[in-house]
Structure 1
Amino acid sequence: MADRNDVLGAAQRVLNADPGASMTVVAEAAGVSRATLNRHFDSRETLLVELGTRSLDQWAQRLDAVDVEAVAASGDAARIRAALEDLVLGYVDDSDAFGFALTDHVILANAALEERTQALADREAVLFAAAQASGVLRADLPLRWFGHAIYGLLVAAREAVRIGDVARRDAGHLVLSSLLAGVVPS
């Protein structure tokens, strides 16, 4: 019998393929009845908020893994760039599991998730500020623009992979090169 984590995993897979999938479709993918799904999550909103929380947990783990605060404090341009690249490539990997959370209206409208999102964006901005100061990122752009640009590129990559315009293996390179070099010839 599927436990809560099995159901969440199935929901992630289903919602990444079809963000509008019903609870019935999620239950079928998890191999449980709709009643069993409802025992775990009393509504689609509850399920989505749990998945949104998990996506933010993953974001926090990515920030911890690259040690954004220590890297930013180092002022070392090479170290900052490497951390930025690792972070962005990690985000692309995470979009395999949590890409739907980038655009889901229930998740984006939840006040608690939005508050936590802002706290994580503040942590991320510390790295962006150091990247600007060290010449890794353009200093003439607003600090918060980088987070929005990455977000937009992740949404674009997720959709391009989902509909088959881009191979999954190319998504990381496309996001990273678009962020760091743009889309004009060098």
Structure 2
Amino acid sequence: MGADRTDVLGAAQRLLNRDPGASMSAIADAAGVSRATLHRHVDSRDALLVELGTRSLDQWERRLDGVAVEEVAATGDAAAIRAVLEALVLGYVDDADDHGFALTDHVILANAELIERTQRLADREAVLFAAAQEAGVLRTDLPLRWFGHTIYGQLVAGREAVRLGDVARRDVAHLVLSTLLAGVTSP
């Protein structure tokens, strides 16, 4: 029985989330195919990683589109902007379960096409952050791009905290969102 490309990529993604250093043999085993079959789907491990990085960016774009980020930002409505910001962050936490390895993989982070696309998506996100600053949802004394970096860092921290058993997976969304919006100091 031949393996469908989507199934092979899904199996690779799940394995790489558990073991980012997994070999092509291990990936083929996880997908239930031979190495030859895996190589019919992707030429190399780097090509596989770039394809999976593209899938993670596709999901990021779907998140931004799904909440109509630019349209909501244009309203200037603080409540709507905050709701979209919260929905995005909660969605990103869920996405980190599926695409988490892409947050730190050196092949993905060094690919010129993925870097360019990441910048375009970060620019779209920054439109929301700017509107959130203007509406009083986010602090105005912080650089605009800091919010995206903060969310990114929190996603990496959340995945690592779960991996180490320091926090329960069910608590990560609340921890990331509350840390973003309230910080870590006592009120």
- TM-score tier, shorter chain, comes to over 0.9
Give the corresponding residue for 2:102: 101
Give the corresponding residue for 2:129: 128
- What are the Cα deviations for residues 53-81 of structure 1, in whole angstroms up to 9, with x where unaligned? 00000000000011010110000000000
Q: CA deviation at 1:168?
A: 1.0
The two structures have a TM-score, normalised by structure 1, of 0.98
Compute the RMSD of aligned alpha carbons.
0.7
1:100-179 to 2 correspondence within 5 Å? 100-179=101-180
Aligned residue pair count: 186
Give the corresponding residue for 2:70: 69
Q: CA deviation at 1:185?
A: 1.7
Give the corresponding residue for 2:182: 181
Identity rate of aligned residues, in percent? 78
Q: Which residue identity is paired with 1:94?
A: D
1-structure distance, mates of 2:163, 2:99: 13
Unaligned runs of 5+ in 1: none
2-structure distance, mates of 1:50, 1:33: 19
Residues 1:45 and 2:42 are matched in the alignment = no
Give the corresponding residue for 1:89: 90
Q: Which moved more, 1:106-115 or 1:162-171?
A: 162-171
2-structure distance, mates of 1:171, 1:25: 29
Q: CA deviation at 1:164?
A: 2.1
Q: Which residue identity is paired with 1:173?
A: H
Unaligned runs of 5+ in 2: none
- What are the Cα deviations for residues 82-121 of structure 1, in whole angstroms up to 9, with x where unaligned? 0000000000000011000000000000000000000000
Q: CA deviation at 1:163?
A: 2.6
- What are the Cα deviations for residues 115-171 of structure 1, in whole angstroms up to 9, with x where unaligned? 000000000000000000000000000000000000000000111122322211111
Q: CA deviation at 1:42?
A: 1.1
- What are the Cα deviations for residues 26-55 of structure 1, in whole angstroms up to 9, with x where unaligned? 111100011111111110000000000000
Deviating beyond 3 angstroms after TM superposition, the runs of 4 or more aligned structure 1 residues are none
2-structure distance, mates of 1:90, 1:68: 13
